[in-house]
Amino acid sequence: MRYGGNTSCVSLEVGDEPPIVLDLGSGLRPLGHALEDRFGLDAPIELTAFLTHLHWDHIIGLPFCRPILRLGGTMEVFGPPQDGDLHEVIDRVVVPPFFPVQVKQLHGSIRFQEVADDTVAVGSAKVTVRRVPHVGTTLGFRIEANGSSVAYVSDHQAPDDRQSVSDAVLELCDGADLVIHDAQYTDDEFAEKATWGHSTIAYAVHVAAEAGARRLVLYHHDPLHSDDDMDRIVDEAVCFERAGRLDGVVGAAEGLAIDVGRR
């Protein structure tokens, strides 16, 4: 009720430029409504999206983003390389009987581009793309603009020792003003699900501290955690010794807006 139940989707705005969308989870639907409220129903909206990987919780919002379902709406999706083509793989799930129509039948235009270990310019922002440990090919992103930086590592398999950090993740998070990082499990839950592709809350804090980041957003909450569980998790994370190296730790919540401008 307070943290929200939608799945991964973050909107990142640089000045007056169209938002950069990170992941296409069910949060993309309310984001589409918010964009309509702001820009009006007739404004052609051009979105650029970066997709970490194709697990359901990261793509389920794709056919429900109203501004790109209309004529004139466009979305360019950069996503991980697939066996076959990214667009063709998406077509295998956005198709009857899973969904009434295919992407090409939507009125807006959605284009797909595979990307990995590269940088992409979007307006005045530079997006660095790296492969990160999860289950299957999965990307993490670092977005830099106007001297500020945000790292987005939504799904990240913590190593057994929960100490080492891959070079790719360290590079993405290096000195970032804000790190949005997988924090799905408590230590006890991780013991049961150590190979499920995710991090612990403590490991998320550890990664941000190791990388010298400023602030951390705990992200990708376990759907079994209640609002009260989340309050407790965030309160505990703030008190971790390594959190002392950060300027702040917060729990991601639907509608939460953070200004990443430099102090």
Residues that bind Zn ion (CB under 5 A): 55, 57, 155
Q: Measured from the CB atom, is 55 or 214 closer to Zn ion?
A: 55
Q: Measured from the CB atom, is 155 or 177 closer to Zn ion?
A: 155
Tokens of 94: 């956005």
Q: Measured from the CB atom, is 106 or 233 closer to Zn ion?
A: 233
CB of 220 to Zn ion, least distance (A): 6
CB of 196 to Zn ion, least distance (A): 9
Helices (H), 45-131: 56-59, 86-91
CB of 134 to Zn ion, least distance (A): 6
Angle at 186 between CA 185 and CA 190, to 5 degrees: 65
Tokens of 105: 């039948």
CB of 169 to Zn ion, least distance (A): 15
CB of 153 to Zn ion, least distance (A): 11
CB of 263 to Zn ion, least distance (A): 32
Strands (E), the chain: 10-12, 20-22, 46-50, 74-79, 109-114, 118-122, 125-131, 139-145, 148-153, 178-182, 215-219, 248-251
CB 26 within 8 A of CB 7: yes
Of 133, 236, 138, 249, which is closest to residue 194 (Cα–Cα)? 133
Which residue's Cβ has the minimum distance to Zn ion? 55
Residues 6 or more apart in contact with residue 238 via CB below 8 angstroms: 249
Q: Measured from the CB atom, is 24 or 234 closer to Zn ion?
A: 24
Q: Measured from the CB atom, is 55 or 142 closer to Zn ion?
A: 55
Q: Measured from the CB atom, is 60 or 125 closer to Zn ion?
A: 60
